[in-house]
Amino acid sequence: MTVVTPDLLRRFDVAGPRYTSYPTADRFVEAFGEQDYMLALQQRRVGSVGKAAPLSLYVHIPFCESLCYYCACNKIITRHPERAEVYLRYLSREIDLHTAHCGVGQQVSQLHLGGGTPTFLSDEGLRELMAMIKRNFTLVPGGEYSIEVDPRTVDEQRLALLAELGFNRLSFGVQDFDPEVQKAVHRIQPAEKVFALVESARRLGFESVNVDLIYGLPRQTPESFERTLRQVAQLRPDRIALYAYAHLPERFKPQRRIVTAELPMASAKVAMLAQGLEIFSAAGYVYIGMDHFALPDDALAVAKRQGRLHRNFQGYSTQPDCDLIGLGVSAIGRVAATYSQNVKTLDEYYDAINQGRLPIVRGLALSRDDLVRRAVIMALMCQGKVLFEPMEESWLIDFRSYFEPELQQLQTLAEHGLVTVSDEGISVTPMGWYFVRATAMVFDRYLQANLNRAKFSRII
């Protein structure tokens, strides 16, 4: 096992993007609107007649029954299920607006329902949503069809429905099993319930089960979190996401309910992360990168070994790099060399669709430099290496000249054993995988230009 020292964790505990895209979403501009997005959809349809690459779909379900104080997602707290019924009708109309430009029956190899809480939808609502998707798109065999699950909102019967509807991957939001931490963040869910649900998911034949954890929450201590980590190792999900809590109450109103004095100190957070790395590695998990672990036979770990790992707005993926259509409030999409995002409130979303408009509020048309840098950053984040010659042939650049300042900056990371730079290219070391965001940040032109990192979460 690679030993990550507390000194290194502290040294590289800086704020930076997660690079689910490059350029990052904070670079999107309102000058990019519906017409630009429609043009990208139409060009995809015309330019790929007979050979369109499969799509990825993301559907945002914003509703939650109760508020989790740590949450930074776009959500609506309500106990009125009829609000979801209205929302589904508008989602159907948004899909119609998309297919008018890209055509009906486009193949989809990846579907993800996020939120909010997708399992806020009733059984009938889930059936309706999947029916509308299957009417308009073709879900290909062997694709990744995943849904985020709040363990408090499902039982084995509901999991059976999800399997029946075609979902083959589940992601359970756990965060922490400690009762005191759960009280502090207003999310009570006994460990026994999660264990029972994961066992049910295995019986039902789901291909992969993910568990989300967060360290740095109020009332957490290295001792209490170690108990949670060992429970999760015993649970043995196929994948684990271990996120650092980013306390930004000035940006996210729910976090103002967290008692700042109850948050663990930076040294305690470093200790928790070090424990996670040690315990999951000892339990046989492969570190994928960017807070993610997977069992050796999981598709993510296999893809990493084979150099087939990709990254999009949902995180790491085994599916080939493809266009992404985002549906619902605040959803982000990517079509060709453009990014786009929907409006963030229900009123704006409903108003746009009532006017027959796609609800795009902002986006970005990528420049050639953006595309070159995206290729470098994604190669580092997914394959852990960049080879100069293929990059030069693909983009008609002299890599060492084009990225001369960046290569100089990498020397500091190389001195700490995080990367190696040779005549052939750049390689992330086993130690460097834990700090791969720091390596990617070197090639982020926007970040280097303004050094305004306060808006991002910290790496650790």
What residues are designated binding site for S-adenosyl-L-methionine? Answer: 58, 70-72, 115-117, 148, 175, 187, 212, 246, 332
Helix (H) / strand (E) element for 361: namely: strand 360-365
Cis peptide, bond prior to residue 116, ω within 30 of zero: yes
For residues 16 and 438, what is the distance between their CA atoms, to the nearest angstrom? 8
The three-state secondary structure class of 227 is: helix
- Single-letter amino acid code for the residue at 59: V
Dist. CA 179–CA 287, nearest whole Å: 28
Contacts of 253 (CB under 8 A, 6+ apart): none
Tell me the binding residues: 58, 64, 68, 70-72, 115-117, 148, 175, 187, 212, 246, 332
Numbered residues of the known binding site for [4Fe-4S] cluster: 64, 68, 71
* Beta-strand pair 292-294/239-244: antiparallel
* Neighbour tally for 394: CB within 10 Å: 11
State the Cα–Cα distance between residues 281 and 295, nearest whole angstrom. 10
Q: Which residue has the tokens 């992330």?
A: 428
CB proximity list for 370: less than 8 A, separation 6 or greater: 22, 23, 337, 364
DSSP secondary-structure letter at 28? -
